[in-house]
């Protein structure tokens, strides 16, 4: 059910679209393939299965033609048409799309006229001055290409969200502090809760555009102003990240924020819907249009809610705006009841000075209380994780006593006793059963011996899940975004076993992890009786604020809040979760 090779089909369609585009084929055909790729990203079942049982054409955006291509790709790993596209173009020409400023037309010209088929050949063509001789490309174009090639060499693609949160928030605060700015927000994929961002998009409402532009382009994080008009500026930050600001009048802020939140595909789908209703949507609002295509009336759209209402839709949260079925669900009033920060009553994974955290139990409890939490669980590492100063039995018992004491001292928040126990290489737990049974909540996590073959890793985690001694499975794939790949594991049987054994599966909210990934959450939520838990894994007070990233991940995964144990009242929580060693 959780077939992971869906990506191969998506990549197949994307590559097809890109290459047809380069060859100058019908642009609507190109878009059909690109749209089909988006549609496949959004489905929660196995594409393999859908092709087999013929339900693939039920998916909006997939018709007979693309279904036949997919079937051919499934059976033979390629198709006649795909081979044609492959042999017609140099093998590495797709890399050229990474160069900002180059699109299908220019790449095609570069290839046709100069034989450029890779980044390396592009560099040579730029350095030799040949590019400046091409129509529509001059000295400035060459300079920009050279700059881009430099950037690409030092800065690889999209940035993990963890690397941009600080700079993004500080820029936002600086903008908001400016007297010329009425409102400001970060839009783009950052707002949609993606795990990486290609750039930062900011939107500001202002009555003095010039002043706001000035504030933005002179922020300390800015290294270079790349482009600037009356309403839009693009800057390059010291980190290499690109950042856009759009400045608009306050009364159109809602429409503009919506426009720059995207995704592009969501906006395209919405505008197609608008066209059917004789409406036009742009970043300045929603307009009624006559048969000549002229704007006759401007609908009052002060907020994003107004915008959706103008299109007869309920508000669609930013995290769902990917054109992966959210518009259809909204139409049927079937959007999930998603969690927000206010719904979260508990944080059930955090560390203190007992292992590798920086603050005491009491300090963490008080900070959690300040953030509105009703209960927390202290979950140190266990003994075999030497590098993190893991706890053995004696130290854990000592901590249990201290938690009892702190619970007496601190009012208004309850501290649970827990452990993040290592799942050892053979699937046994790094603490004896009797001691684990004294605890309220135990997270089982894999930290070591992570290079096991997939079958061994799957069996190992299954054994822990079936032990009857863990309440939750911590960061189930072990990935560190942009730094470490997930370990090899077959999550299908693991998640099924979690549901059968009353073990909650964690969405680790640390922006470096965000594990489970939202795409897995969206599939896993289909498993009956599977509970989820969103936790910060905080090692400091500041870490407690990471909860929002876990929530965004859950929201991107279409996860209803009533599937998340952290939203339960204390009473309901006790009845729901599995305490270690008890049924």
The binding site for DNA (CB under 7 A) comprises: 26, 28-29, 31-33, 36, 57, 60-67, 99-107, 132, 135-142, 144, 188, 198-199, 201, 227-232, 242, 244, 260, 262, 264, 267-268, 271-272, 274-276, 278, 280-284
Please identify, using beta-carbon distances, which residue of 1 and 329 lies nearer to DNA. 329
DSSP 195: S
What's the min distance (Å) between Cβ of 135 and DNA? 6
Q: How far apart are CA 336 and CA 558, in angstroms?
A: 6
Q: What angle is formed at CA 98 by the lines to CA 93 and CA 100, rounded to 5 degrees?
A: 120
Nearest to 317 by CA among 37, 61, 537, 518: 518
What is the crossing angle of helices 6-22 and 80-88, to 10°?
50
Report the greatest alpha carbon distance in the chain.
80
441 sits in which H/E element: strand 441-445
Judged by beta carbon, residue 38 or residue 349, the one nearer DNA is: 38
When the beta carbons of 63 and 300 are compared against DNA, the nearer one is 63
Q: How far is the CB of 174 from DNA (least distance, A)?
A: 21
Cβ–Cβ < 8 Å for 222, 174: no
CA 296/CA 287 separation, integer angstroms: 7
Triad 40, 45, 50: Cα angle to 5°: 75
Residue whose CB is less far from DNA, 274 or 350: 274
Q: Which is nearer to DNA, 106 or 578 (CB)?
A: 106
Residue identified by tokens 């006593």 is 401
How buried is residue 130: exposed, middle or buried, by Cβ count under 10 Å (0-12/13-18/19+)? middle
- Edge-to-edge strand order for the sheet containing 279-282? 279-282, 285-289, 295-299
Nearer to DNA, 254 or 427 (CB): 254
**Cβ neighbours, 10 Å, residue 116:** 25
Rounded to an integer, what distance in angstroms lies between the CA atom of residue 558 and that of residue 325? Answer: 11
276 or 575, CB closer to DNA? Answer: 276
User: At closest approach, how far in Å is the CB of 236 from DNA?
Assistant: 12
Cβ 338 to DNA shortest distance, Å: 24
Residues in a beta bridge with 41: none
> What minimum distance in Å lies between the beta carbon of 1 and DNA?
24
| C-beta closer to DNA: residue 281 or 470 | 281
Q: How far is the CB of 58 from DNA (least distance, A)?
A: 9
Nearer to DNA, 79 or 567 (CB): 79
- In the bound complex, what is the minimum distance in angstroms from residue 98's beta carbon to DNA? 9
Cα separation values, 91 from 19, 26, 86, 220, Å: 11, 22, 7, 41
**Phi, then psi, of 309 in degrees rounded to 5:** -65, -35
* CB-nearer residue toward DNA: 140 or 483: 140
The torsion of the CA quartet 92, 97, 100, 106, rounded to 10 degrees, works out to 90
Q: How far is the CB of 13 from DNA (least distance, A)?
A: 10
Nearest-angstrom CA–CA distance, 576 and 79? 51
Least separation in angstroms between residue 515's CB and DNA is: 27
Can you tell me which residue has the tokens 């030799």? Answer: 128
Side by side, the strands of the sheet bearing 441-445 are 346-347, 375-381, 414-422, 441-445, 472-473, 504-508, 532-535
Q: How far is the CB of 299 from DNA (least distance, A)?
A: 14
Q: Which is nearer to DNA, 35 or 381 (CB)?
A: 35
| Shortest distance, position 377 Cβ to DNA, whole Å | 40
**Smallest gap, in angstroms, from Cβ of residue 194 to DNA?**
13
Helical packing angle, 64-76 and 27-41, nearest 10°: 60
Tokens of 359: 């603050």
Q: Residue 267 or 467: which CB sits closer to DNA?
A: 267
- Residue identified by tokens 């009892």 is 404
């Amino acid at each position: 059910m959780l077939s992971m090779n869906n990506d191969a089909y998506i990549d197949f369609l994307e590559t097809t679209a890109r290459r047809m585009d380069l060859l100058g084929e019908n642009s609507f055909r190109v878009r059909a393939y690109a749209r089909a790729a988006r549609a496949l990203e959004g489905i929660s079942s196995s594409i393999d299965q859908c092709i087999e049982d013929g339900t693939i054409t039920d998916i909006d955006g997939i018709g007979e033609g693309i279904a036949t291509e997919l079937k051919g790709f499934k059976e033979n790993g390629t198709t006649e048409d795909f081979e044609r596209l492959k042999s017609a173009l140099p093998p590495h020409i797709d890399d050229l799309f990474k160069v900002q400023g180059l699109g299908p037309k220019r790449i095609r010209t570069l290839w046709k006229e100069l034989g450029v088929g890779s980044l390396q050949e592009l560099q040579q063509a730029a350095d030799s001055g040949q590019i400046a001789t091409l129509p529509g490309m001059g000295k400035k174009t060459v300079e920009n290409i050279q700059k881009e090639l430099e950037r690409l060499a030092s800065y690889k693609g999209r940035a993990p969200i963890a690397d941009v949160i600080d700079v993004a928030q500080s820029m936002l605060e600086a903008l908001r502090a400016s007297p010329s700015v009425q409102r400001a927000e970060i839009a783009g994929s950052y707002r949609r809760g993606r795990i990486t961002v290609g750039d930062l998009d900011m939107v500001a409402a202002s009555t003095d555009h010039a002043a706001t532009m000035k504030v933005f382009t002179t922020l300390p994080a800015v290294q270079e102003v790349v482009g600037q008009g009356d309403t839009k500026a693009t800057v390059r930050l010291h980190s290499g990240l690109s950042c856009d600001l759009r400045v608009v009048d306050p009364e159109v802020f809602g429409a503009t924020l919506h426009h720059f939140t995207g995704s592009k595909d969501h906006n395209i789908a919405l505008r197609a819907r608008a066209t059917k209703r004789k409406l036009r949507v742009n970043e300045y609002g929603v307009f009624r249009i006559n048969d000549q295509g002229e704007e006759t009336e401007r609908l009052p759209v002060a907020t994003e809610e107004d915008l959706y209402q103008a299109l007869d839709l309920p508000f669609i949260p930013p995290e769902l705006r990917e054109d992966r079925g959210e518009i259809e669900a909204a139409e049927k009033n079937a959007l999930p009841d998603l969690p927000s920060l206010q719904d979260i009553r508990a944080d059930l994974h955090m560390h203190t000075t007992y292992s590798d955290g920086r603050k005491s139990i009491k300090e963490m409890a008080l900070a959690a209380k300040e953030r509105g939490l009703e209960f927390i669980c202290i979950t140190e590492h266990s003994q075999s994780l030497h590098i993190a100063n893991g706890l053995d039995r004696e130290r854990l018992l000592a901590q249990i006593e201290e938690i009892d004491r702190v619970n007496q001292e601190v009012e208004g928040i309850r501290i649970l006793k827990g452990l993040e126990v290592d799942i050892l290489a053979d699937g046994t737990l790094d603490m004896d059963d009797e001691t684990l049974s004294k605890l309220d909540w135990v997270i089982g996590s894999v930290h070591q011996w992570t290079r096991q073959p997939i079958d061994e890793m799957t069996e190992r985690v299954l054994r822990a899940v079936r032990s009857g001694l863990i309440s939750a499975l911590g960061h189930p794939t072990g990935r560190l975004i942009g730094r470490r790949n997930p370990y090899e594991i077959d999550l299908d049987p693991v998640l099924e076993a979690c549901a059968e054994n009353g073990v909650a599966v964690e969405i680790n909210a640390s922006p470096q992890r965000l594990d489970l990934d939202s795409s897995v959450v969206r599939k896993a939520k289909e498993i009956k009786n599977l509970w989820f838990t969103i936790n910060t894994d905080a090692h400091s007070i500041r870490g407690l604020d990471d909860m929002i990233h876990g929530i965004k991940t859950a929201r991107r995964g279409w996860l209803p809040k009533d599937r998340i144990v952290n939203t339960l009242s204390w009473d309901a929580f006790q009845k729901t979760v599995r305490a270690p060693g008890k049924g």
